[in-house]
Chain A
Amino acid sequence: MKLTGRIPVEPLDEERLTRIERTIVAGAAEAAARPIRATRVSPALAFAAAAAVALGAGAVGWKLRGGGHAPELAAAPVEVRTDGQGTSLDIGDARIQSDPATAFTLTRPAGGVLVAMTRGKVALDVAKRAGRPALVVKAGDTDVVVVGTRFSVDYGDGTGDVDVRVTEGVVRVVRHKQETRVAAGQAWTTRAGLVALVALADAGPGARRAGAGAGAGQGGARGADGANGANGADGADGANGANGAAIGDPTRSGAGGVEIDMSKTPAVLRERVSAVPDVRAPQAGSGAPQVTRGPAGGNGAAGAGGTGTDAAGKPRPGGDGARELRGDLKTMIRAQPVLPALDVSEPDALKAMAEYRAIMTREKGPREAHAFYSMAVLQALKLGRTGDALTTLAAFKRRAATSEYYLPALWLDLRIKCLRGLDDTCRQAAEVYARHAPESAALHVAEKITLAK
């Protein structure tokens, strides 16, 4: 039986196609405007799916081990509560280790896994999900999305702050529509509504609770324990050391605020601090959380630029300093070399671009990646089409993340964005570069940018 080509397709008329196209363009614009969601499963659907899946849970070999009481797997969703002892729950594609005094609900909506935490701490070892929907750990308004890795989520007493530590692979942490990529050796943590992403390596045991009581209590922060190292909260006076970026609370000056002090961590840790968008502009004496920067020394942003707020939340003058900083940083960025484009002995940039395209069509491997990267170099540096260059670089990063030209591409991306302006886009590019190129000669520039106000 051979029917291929025997049933011709009757075309749709133009009017119908135009109508369809119009609907699709409108729908696509809506989809693009929608924020990235950690999970697309509605609570109702999640519950329904969980009910169905849990019925078959026994059949797929879920088993509970450890000292905690076994949840009723036949019922859905599965609720796990531990008292004096932790438990280890093996759900086939992930193992969930929970500490004592931990509570969470486990469902499997639409093929994914949803661990909704009420309190406590869980450590997960997740197998590669290979195309299956993600595993999501939900701790309050924070979603940790994972496709295969090892990490822990500490939700403390379940009232607010979350601490995510990744020991293997990468997770995405989504909070208030803001997504952060947390890689192995990094920790993502919140204190009183502020977020910090820090390196875990060599993190000392010097973490302390903010204000040792009053601060933590009034700020609503869960103090870090000794093991939390780099995320330790400390008293705030803005005079942090060489890398003295600090997340602070102006209430500290009067009522005992909450700060995460990174001055105690070695410089090599390269802390990166980012303010979350829900942080309001500082109001003196209002008690609203704010980001403060160490005023002196090293990479401290305020120290370098002379702007920012003091511990009491009052704005400090420093407009000229900020301008100088911007000028200095741009000079430093320009001073860093850009890996040159592939030499195709073609002085005309457009012809060289055509040659790169041809190379990409006929060749594979490093030369193909170099040609791809070279297109962005030419667009940015010869043709002055920085917008096109950024688009090419975005495509390059998706396509050639493992190539040797990846870091040069990240630098070029940073260079373009930061020479346009020292804004959030630039800072984000600098953060990405600093994370991926810890050995690079340009690292200090990227670090300065991430810490700049």
Chain B
Amino acid sequence: MTAAAYVEDVLLVDRCLTGEPAATRELFRRHRGRVHACLYRVLGGNRDMDDLLQEAFLQVFQSLRGWRAEASLATWIDRVAVRVAYRYLSQRRRRIAAEPLADEDAAGTAPAVSDDVPGARRQLARDGVKRLYTVLDELSPAARLAFTLHEIDGRSISDTAQLVGSSVTATKLRVWRARNRVQAAAAQDPILSEFLAPTAEVIPFDDREVS
């Protein structure tokens, strides 16, 4: 980050701390895209995203005085967002454990897809993503965060470790275990296996959600 960008951040934060609504809006607009993408990749969809984004940014503004300008503002905000995601995943895990729901899609059987049908590949990709996140649902929140931030969001191991507040070694281990778990699931699931293949195409989403 350049010094000028840093100064801009500091000035913006100072304005936010005075309660200036325009500054609050500016900070939110500047960072919302990245935070949303990060949360989306961790969670696998936009379900509850409004609440999560809201929660993350409210926490950012509530603890903005605590930003010591040591880390970049973006990194600091990401750390807050990751903490919010962690809490959400932990609570969801407990909720699911308390009230198990039958999930038809998680049965592991491939839906009947014909290559002749237009949009079939798109459907396959979507199913692949869905199955990937079904496997990730079985991981601990910490392992899921480490895996998604590193493997899907494309952050380095050290950045991931910093975001989740763990050591680099622990983060590597979590990513490695999660990767093994996903690969084991892919060995049993041709759709997931197809999705994970390095040659698979990137299919953009239409207006339907993953989850």
Contact = CB atoms under 8 A, between A and B. Distances in A.
A392 interface: yes
Interface stretch (B56-64, B88-96, B101-109): B56-64
B140 interface: no
B25 A25 contact: yes
B202 A8 contact: yes
A25 B21 contact: yes
B129 interface: yes
A32 B18 contact: yes
A8 B129 CA distance: 10
B113 interface: no
B54 A20 contact: yes
A147 to B, nearest CB: 10
B74 interface: no
Contacts of B25: 21, 25
Interface majority SS (helix, strand, loop, mixed), chain A: helix
Given A20-B50, A29-B24, A9 B36 contact: yes
Contacts of A357: 4
A44 B153 CA distance: 38
B139 interface: no
A7 B21 CA distance: 34
Contact of A8 (B17, B28, B198, B204): B204
Interface stretch (A93-101, A329-337, A394-402): A394-402
Interface in A378-434: 391-392, 394-395, 398-399
B14 interface: yes
A32 B16 contact: yes
Contacts, number: 123
Interface in B145-192: 151-154, 179, 182-183
B210 A398 contact: no
B3 interface: yes
Contact of A32 (B2, B11, B19, B205): B19
A31 B59 CA distance: 9
B7 A360 contact: yes
B116 interface: no
A45 to B, nearest CB: 15
Interface residues of A, number: 40
A6 B200 CA distance: 9
A17 interface: yes
B209 interface: yes
A31 B37 CA distance: 26
Contacts of B152: 3-4, 6-7
Nearest to A11: B36
A212 interface: no
Contacts of B182: 1
Nearest to B9: A395
B196 A1 contact: yes
A17 B204 contact: no
B15 A399 contact: no
A360 B2 CA distance: 8
A392 B7 CA distance: 9
Which of A357, A361, A395 is most buried by chain B, counting CB atoms within 10 A of its CB? A395
B56 to A, nearest CB: 9
A372 B65 CA distance: 22
Contacts of B37: 9
10 contacts: A6-B200, A11-B36, A12-B50, A21-B29, A24-B24, A27-B57, A29-B24, A372-B7, A394-B14, A399-B69
Given A27-B57, A32-B16, A361-B4, 9 more contacts: A1-B183, A29-B21, A29-B24, A31-B61, A364-B3, A392-B11, A395-B10, A395-B14, A399-B6
